[in-house]
Every structure is written in structure tokens, then in C-alpha cells.
Chains A and B, each alone.
Chain A
Amino acid sequence: MTRSAISSQPLPELLEQLRAKGVRQGVGPMAGETAERATPGVRGAISSGFPALDTALRTDGWPRGALALLDAPRGTGATSLVIRSLAAAQEAGGIVAWIDAAGCLDPATVERMGVNLEWLLVVRPASVAEAVELAGWIVRGGLVDAVALDLGESGAALTGELDRLGRLLARGRAVTLLLAGERLRSAAAPVASVRIALRREAWLAVGRDLVGQRVRATVTRHRWALAGADATLDLWFGEGRRIDPLLPALAVPDETAGTATGEAEEAGERPALRVLSA
């Protein structure tokens, strides 16, 4: 369509044409996704926010349509990883949702860790079963790119629902990141198309403050790529208030300087990042 043809068209008709072409279908392609969408059968991916993990997944991030289970004991950074993934999805132009069956979502922390609350849909289901059903409805709409499904420590038996959800998700374009207690994790394990095991390797400290943890993420299952690769992730706590301003300068820790026992501190300079054995 030439420029003159566009300018001579009535605006409503032009908008209808744009809508038909998908311009108003939202983000159409996200960053780095154009080629994949043009090729049928090849699913795109949404970055996890950690290049090392994207590489370990061998699909440049979470594959679209995946139900990703984070197999992590409490306190090993599964929630931080999910938040970073949602932030990455938003940075690529997407909309994300948080299904908070556990009732423990703190929007302020989520925002501090990079999620734009303006494009975050918060869902508060009445029960865990309803949370799973709502996840299916939201993903089926096709307008949300990443969904965090936080089921908490519930002991409900949801094998059937999760199985149905897994099949539903595989037909959609969204990634669902599942956070659950141990019992639900074992129920969801056969259904999940991607499983990541997280294990804490070390604590990260600045001076006497613990500011984060170093976690090893291992891809234990992947439906569309070879599993087995792992990556090391540095997850920073959202509450490191006093040392927050220092973190950007220290975000790439120098192992040798970090493990040196505070020589810089003694010299009165900035406290160095230290890696403490877990």
C-alpha cells in the first residue's frame, strides 16, 4: 500500500486494515521473535531475564506454551527468578499476570525488582483449583505473555486440573511459571514441559549484609530441547536497602576481589562483594 493510498483512505477503514494485519493485536512479535512466528511449527521464547539460563534452556528462554515448574526448596530464589522473567517479558513489550493463590504477592517488591505494575494483571482466586482454571482462561485469551502461577504450599490434589492446564498451555503462546509447595510440585512434575531445579551454592554479601544468593539452575526436563544443562544465577534480594545504591557497581562480582577478606573495606573504600559458601 503506497503512502498516497493510505492518506486517501478514511481513517476507520485504515484502522480496520491495521487491525486485520495484527497491528492492534498487541505485541505482535516480541523481540527476536519475528523469524520464529513466520515459521510454522517453531515456537518462540520469552527471556528468563538471565542470559545464562536462556542458554542453558537451549531455546533462548522459556519456550512459548510451556508450563515451567521451578523445582526449588523454599528460599532458593524461585520467586525471584519468576519476577525477573516477568520483568523481561514486559521489557520485550508483553503483558504479564500473577495468579496469587498463595496470597503472598507484594506488589511493591515486584515493582522494585523490575516489573511494571501498569502491565501486570493480579489475579486473586478463591481456591487453588480455581487458580489453575483461571490460568487456563487467561492463557487461552492469548493476550498475556507470561503468567506466574503461585499455588503456595497447598496440599490439594490437582493432578487432573494440572494435566488439563498443561495440554491447554501447549496450544497457547504464553509461558506459565509454576511456583508450588513440595506436594504440588510432585503432582505437577509429570505435566510440566520444562523443569528447572534450583540449588543454592553461595551467599552474596556486601560488608556484613547478605544481599543475595548464588543459585545453580539445572534444566532437568525440556520438552522441546535437550535437558541437562545448568547455569549459575546471582539473585539479589529486594530488601537490601542500605546497600542498594552500591549494587549496580558491584553487579559483576570480581571473584578474586570478592573473596579477598575485606581489604578494600579496611582501606575505607567501598565494601566489596563477597561470596560466602552456603
Chain B
Amino acid sequence: MTRILALVWPTLRSGRDAPPGSGAVDVPAMLDRLDDLSPRVEAVDRGVALVDVTGLGPALGDTGDERRIAARAVALVREVAPLPVRAGTGENRWLAVLAARLALAARPDPATPAAFGAIPAGPAARRTLAVLSLDLLPADPATRGRFALFGLTTMGELAALPRSAVGAQFGAEGERLQALARGEDPRPLAPRRRPERLTRRVGFEPPMEGIGGTALLLRRCCAELCDTLRARHLAPGRATLTCELEDAPPLVTALAFPEPALEPDWIARLLLGRLEAAARSRRLHDPSDGDEEPRVAAIGLALDRLSNPAARQLGAFNVQAGRWEELRWSVERLTTRFGPGRLWRATTERPRAVLPERRARLTGLGHDATGEEEP
């Protein structure tokens, strides 16, 4: 018997921002935490996650109390972002999400974070659904109107009709909705693949004077990780370098590549350039550090967003596209050298506008570009 736990974050689902003080919500990190509970986790869309909790009760030290499993899942995701969350369990994904939605209805106080609902398995599920309104079904307004014209108001009434009759009157969509009203959902859980991440950390004893001194080791770390990935026909899309300083908070710099790349020299040079720029910036903003070079206790390199570089072959067929991709490396270098806000790409918006500045829009290039367009 399959049991699925649905977690619904209403604030994320409605597109509202995270609560003040919680910062940006790192949804992938929340899903990573759920991996600790079960290996089968699916992110349905923004604000809804499904976890296969079949047989997890004994593993958590009790006899299968689903509320405690849900509480454990909620506690895990709240370590990342303390958002209000509703949980529900059911035999399939439809019933689980419906249970989570009903959990909110059962608790009138929306601020209550531990809302939990469960729809039992087997025939009891159909009995539970029978009294629920048809408005809970994911139907378009036209279909809802036709249900109303036929006098159908609850799921039980729709479920009780012969399937052939529903198909004749409402078509395939009607048959799908009737199956849902009966508590049947054939869609399987599609577990997400946990993003892979390669890391390497090198400590210095005694600490190294200056960031520039780490260049050789950083280059070697990059080469080792790139060799590992090359053997698997993979390439990273992002590199993150953490520089642990002896008597200051660590410096962290991330570099998203224009395309998956296995170029240890470029990766190391760009990371180091950005790290030195970050160190200079910190000295400028915090003169108390003085002019002394920071003492580096360790560096950590992480490569993620892995993908197969052979899948990106557009450049092999379109010369300008391929050349532009290579140009983006130069853009990264120029951004590091000259700072952000220098390199742009133009697109026309209103080519006939009277004012020239209204006709086109410039979009920043380079890793420092925020993606925002010039006003």
C-alpha cells in the first residue's frame, strides 16, 4: 500500500514573498532536506512537494503514525526556511495534495504551521471524498458549470455515475475528473534526481599569506575535479570557491559558467580574480582590517550544475552561436577586469517609439549582471 505525503507552502504557491527576515527561499535546499527522509521526493511545482513515505513508520521508531512522519518532514524543511506549511497524506498524489488542502480548511487559523490532514486508504478514501464539494476538483470553469447544470455538487454524486455516461456527457476530461472523485489517480510519483556536487577542500597549516598564494593549489583542485568529471562525460555549470580566513569571516565567490566547461585554467583564474576583488572590496568597506594580506586557512572548491557538454552542440552547427558562447568567456574576463555594467546585449522593444531610449532595451552580460535591464 502506497502512502504519499504532500507538503504545500501557501506563501510560495501564491507567489508571495517569504516572511520578513527569512530572506530568499531556497527551495532546492528544502527538497534536499526532504531527501534525508525519503529517497523519493518530487517537486510538483512551486510550493508543492510530494514525498513517498511508504513503510517509513517503523524506521522512525513508531508504528506508522503518519502525523509524526509529517511532523518530521516539516521540521526538516523548516531548518531551511521557517514558512507556514500544510501536510497531508493519501494513497496517491491527488489524495495527498487534497488532504493537505483540507488540513487548512480544518484549521481556521492560517498561521498555524502544523496543519495536517490524512485521507485513509482503500474504500474509506472514497467515503471521505463522497461528501466533498466538486469545487475541489482541478476542473476548468466551463466543466464546473456543466456539472452544476446536471445538478452535481459533490464528488460522491459524480463518482456514483456510470463511467460511460460521464464520458458521453463530459468527454475524456469528465472521465479523468470522475476518477479523481473516486480517489483514483494513476500518475506515479516521479522522484527528482538529487543535484550532484563535487567538492574538494584543502587546508593550510600554517595559514598561507595572501589569497594569490593559493592559485597553484586552486588550479590543481580544479584540474582534479575536471578530470573526474571528464571521465564521466560531464561538465560543471557553476563553481563555488570558499576561502576560509584565519581571523575573518570566510570569503565565498560563485561563478556561473556561460556553458558547461571543463577548463581548469579558466575556472581557477576567474575564481581567483573574483575572490581577490571580493577581498579588496572587503578591505575598502572595513578599513579596520588594515592593509595586511589575509591569512588563508583553507580553500574549498565545489562544482555543481553538472550536465553533459556534448548535449550543447548548437555551436557546432551555427557558427555565430558557437562563437558567441566562446565570447561569453571573454565577457566574464572583461567583467572581472573592468567591473559590471560595461557589457550589454540589446533587444528592440518598440522600434517606432519617438524617444530613442524607449525603442530598445539593454540587458547586462557577465556574471555580475543581475539580469535586470537598463531603465
Identify the A interface with B (CB < 8 A).
11-12, 15, 18, 23-28, 90, 93-95, 106-112, 117-126, 130, 134, 137-138, 141, 143-144, 241
| CB proximity of B226 to chain A, nearest CB, Å | 13
- Residues of A close to B365: CB separation below 8 A: 121
Q: Is the beta-carbon distance between B323 and A122 smaller than 8 angstroms?
A: no
Given contacts A15-B310, A107-B359, A111-B351, is CB(A27)–CB(B346) below 8 Å? no
**Contacts between chains A and B (CB distance < 8 A), count:** 106
**Least CB distance, B330 to chain A, in whole angstroms:** 4
Secondary structure of the B contact surface, majority rule: helix
Nearest-Cβ distance from residue A173 to partner chain B, whole angstroms = 12
Give every chain B residue within 8 A of A93 (Cβ-Cβ): 319-320
8 Å CB contacts to A: which residues of B335-353?
337-338, 341-348, 351-353
Q: Given A12-B233, A15-B310, A138-B334, answer yes or no on A107-B348 (Cβ-Cβ < 8 Å).
A: yes
Find out whether the CB atom of B356 lies under 8 angstroms from the CB atom of A106. yes
Q: Chain A residues with Cβ under 8 A from B342's Cβ?
A: 123-126, 134
Most A CB within 10 A of own CB, among B322, B323, B326, B343:
B323
- Contact A95 B323, CB 8 Å, known A24-B315, A108-B360, A143-B330: yes
Residues of chain A within 8 A (CB-CB) of B323 are 25-27, 95, 143
- CB neighbours (8 Å) of B327 from chain A are 95, 121, 141, 143-144
Count the B residues whose beta carbon is within 8 Å of the partner chain — how many? 35
Q: Name the distance in Å between A144's Cβ and chain B's nearest Cβ.
A: 7
Residues of chain B in range 308-323 having any CB-CB distance to chain A below 8 Å: 309-310, 313, 315-316, 319-320, 322-323
State the Cβ distance, B334 to closest chain A Cβ, in Å.
6
Task: Flag B269-311 by CB within 8 Å of A: 1 or 0 each.
Answer: 0000000000000000000000000000000000000000110
Q: A106-B356, A107-B346 are in contact. List 8 more A-B contacts (CB 8 A).
A: A107-B348, A117-B347, A120-B346, A123-B343, A123-B344, A134-B342, A137-B337, A144-B327
B351: chain A residues at CB < 8 Å are: 108, 111-112
What residues on B are CB-neighbors of A18 within 8 Å? Answer: 316
Q: How far, in Å, is A83 (CB) from chain B's closest CB? A: 13
Assess the B348–A134 pair: CB atoms within 8 A: no
Q: What residues on A are CB-neighbors of B343 within 8 Å? A: 121-124
In the complex with contacts A12-B233, A23-B316, A26-B322, A124-B344 CB distance below 8 A? yes
Contact of A137 among B334, B356, B359, B360 (CB under 8 A): B334
Given contacts A93-B319, A124-B342, contact A117 B326 (CB under 8 A): no
Are A122 and B362 in touch, CB under 8 angstroms?
A: yes
CA A25 to CA B342, docked complex, whole Å: 25
16 A-B residue pairings within 8 Å (CB atoms):
A12-B309, A15-B313, A27-B320, A95-B324, A107-B348, A107-B362, A108-B348, A108-B356, A108-B360, A111-B360, A117-B345, A121-B327, A123-B344, A124-B362, A125-B338, A130-B338
Residues of A within 8 A of B310 (CB): 11-12, 15
- Are B348 and A117 in touch, CB under 8 angstroms? yes
By beta carbon, the residue of chain A nearest B365 is A121
> Closest approach, in angstroms, between the C-beta of B353 and any C-beta of chain A?
8
Residues of B within 8 A of A12 (CB): 233, 309-310
Q: Tell me which residues across on chain B come within 8 A of A15, comparing CB atoms.
A: 309-310, 313, 316
Q: How far apart sit A11 and B312, CA to CA, in the bound complex (Å)?
A: 12
Report how far A110 CA is from B310 CA in the complex, Å: 35
Contact for A124 among B315, B326, B341, CB less than 8 A:
B341
* Residue of B with least CB distance to A11: B310
Q: In the bound complex, how far is the Cα of B323 from the Cα of A90, in angstroms?
A: 12
Given contacts A15-B310, A123-B344, is CB(A107)–CB(B338) below 8 Å? no
Closest chain A CB from B191 CB (angstroms): 28
**A12-B310, A124-B341, A130-B338 given as contacts; is B324 within 8 A of A119 (CB)?**
yes
Q: Are B359 and A106 in contact (CB under 8 A)?
A: yes
A276 to B334, CA, bound (A): 47
In the assembled complex, which residues on chain B have CB atoms less than 8 Å from the CB atom of A134? 334, 338, 342
Q: Which of B315, B324, B344 contacts A122 (CB 8 A)?
A: B344
Q: How far is the CB of A196 from chain B (nearest CB, A)?
A: 26
**Smallest CB-CB separation from A14: which chain B residue?**
B310
Q: Chain A residues with Cβ under 8 A from B324's Cβ?
A: 95, 119
Contact string against A for B residues 112-130, beta-carbon threshold 8 Å, 1 for contact and 0 otherwise: 0000000000000000000
Instruction: Kindly list chain A residues whose C-beta atoms are within 8 Å of the C-beta of B360.
Output: 106-108, 111, 117
For B315, what are the chain A residues with a Cβ–Cβ distance below 8 Å?
24
Cα-based distance from A126 to B338 in the complex (angstroms): 9
Which of A12, A24, A107, A118 has the most C-beta atoms of chain B within 10 angstroms of its own C-beta?
A107
